[in-house]
Structure 1
Amino acid sequence: MLIAEGINKYYPGVHALKDVSIAVYPNEVVGLIGENGAGKS
């Protein structure tokens, strides 16, 4: 199991993520989608 809680990401002048949480359980498949340059990595 993977749990991430309270994730925040700031760029100059932008609060891109505020208190984001995610839980991934065994045998679960998860995808993260978004525009190029959106900060998925």
Structure 2
Amino acid sequence: MNSWTIDSSQSTLTNLYSTTLVFTKIAITAYSHCVAEIQIMD
């Protein structure tokens, strides 16, 4: 937790960016999977 005191705003922005990237990847993967399943069902 000591690293947070160095530049908390920078760390928060970096963590927020990383979290957003992860969620975006999950969302894209889930969306692609759903689209693929719908195409298979068609």
**Shorter-chain TM-score range:** under 0.3
TM-score under structure 1 normalisation?
0.21
Q: Report the TM-score when normalising by structure 2.
A: 0.20
Comparing both structures, which one devotes a greater share of its residues to strand? 1
Higher relative contact order (CA 8 A, sep 6+): 1
Q: Which has the larger radius of gyration?
A: 2
